[in-house]
Structure 1
Amino acid sequence: MPDSISHQMIMAFDFGTQKMGIAIGQAAIESSTPLALFPMKDGIPDWNQLLKIVKEWQPTLFLVGLPLNMDDSESELSARARKFARRLRHQTNITTWMVDERLTTREARDELESYQEQGRAKKIAADSIAASLLIQSWYRAPQGVQP
């Protein structure tokens, strides 16, 4: 991993219209940790609250899940996720990439079962685990598309 990438703090978002999963990762140790769900109102976050979280974690890179259909086509949710990513970049001036999130929710639900066994499921939701999986996929292949 190039040195400039290894020092990054990454924040990932699994965009949703009612709630959004958030995770944080440290590239130097390739960690990813799901955070609490973030409430949304018809796909719009409380920007003041979201910016407080950003300030607390001080990420240097954002990843936003791009919900594509299995045939690579985009949906209304894809357009809304792209709009969120553009506004996030505009509000923070932090580099923002869209990452294909197909199948992460399914994988996250499987992983949630292990959290339930550990007694952590009430605090962590599949959406935040999906955001964590976006970070893990970024470590394996750091590529994405501009919002």
Structure 2
Amino acid sequence: MSTILGFDFGLKRIGVAVGNTILRQAQPLAILGAESNDAKFAAVGELIREWQPALCVVGLPSHPDGAPHEMTQRCRRFANQLHGRFGVTIALVDERYSSAVLGKRQGERIDDRAAAIILQQYFDEHAHF
């Protein structure tokens, strides 16, 4: 059994979800809302040390037609930093509609649930590990 962490990267918050290769079900885990980049990566590092994931899945946003936008490159950079700082294997997953699926209400924080949708999509698309 291997643990997998899923990330919904945002400039203000990072949603985190967890799942494993046996159950293949993603669960919301945390919303990290630190101000500085160093504080965000410190919080991410704590989760990685605690959960010891075999893989980290990062949502990759794009326009509805698949074209990249500003956040696409930022998410790629975040994924590269996860790999570089913590030595974890990374998978990128198309997250175009993860937040829309949740039907966000005003003021509601859904970042951890969006991360769970991203991670569940990874499980659903990868039948073997």
* TM-score where L is the length of structure 1: 0.77
Q: Specify the alignment match of 1:81 in structure 2.
A: 75
Q: Specify the alignment match of 2:96 in structure 1.
A: 102
Q: Specify the alignment match of 2:48 in structure 1.
A: 54
Q: Runs of 4 or more off by more than 3 Å in structure 1?
A: none
Q: Specify the alignment match of 1:19 in structure 2.
A: 13
Deviation of 1:45 after TM superposition, in Å, equals 5.2
Deviation of 1:40 after TM superposition, in Å, equals 4.4
2:3 counterpart of 1:9: yes
> Distance between the aligned counterparts of 2:8 and 2:65, measured in 1?
20
> Distance between the aligned counterparts of 2:5 and 2:30, measured in 1?
13
Aligned length: 124
For 1:58, the aligned partner's letter is Q
* TM-score where L is the length of structure 2: 0.87
> Distance between the aligned counterparts of 2:92 and 2:103, measured in 1?
21
Deviation of 1:41 after TM superposition, in Å, equals 3.5
For 1:95, the aligned partner's letter is T
Any idea what the Cα deviations from partners look like across 1:6-39, whole Å, max 9, x if unmatched?
Answer: x221101000000111001112011211022101
> Distance between the aligned counterparts of 1:141 and 1:50, measured in 2?
25
Identity %: 29
> Distance between the aligned counterparts of 1:138 and 1:85, measured in 2?
15
For 2:32, the aligned partner's letter is F
Unaligned runs of 5+ in 2: none
Q: Is the 8 A contact 2:32 2:43 kept in 1?
A: no
Q: What is the RMSD of the two structures over their aligned residues, measured on CA atoms?
A: 2.0
Deviation of 1:92 after TM superposition, in Å, equals 1.3
Q: Specify the alignment match of 1:127 in structure 2.
A: 111
For 1:35, the aligned partner's letter is L
Greater C-alpha radius of gyration:
1
Q: Is the 8 A contact 2:4 2:57 kept in 1?
A: yes
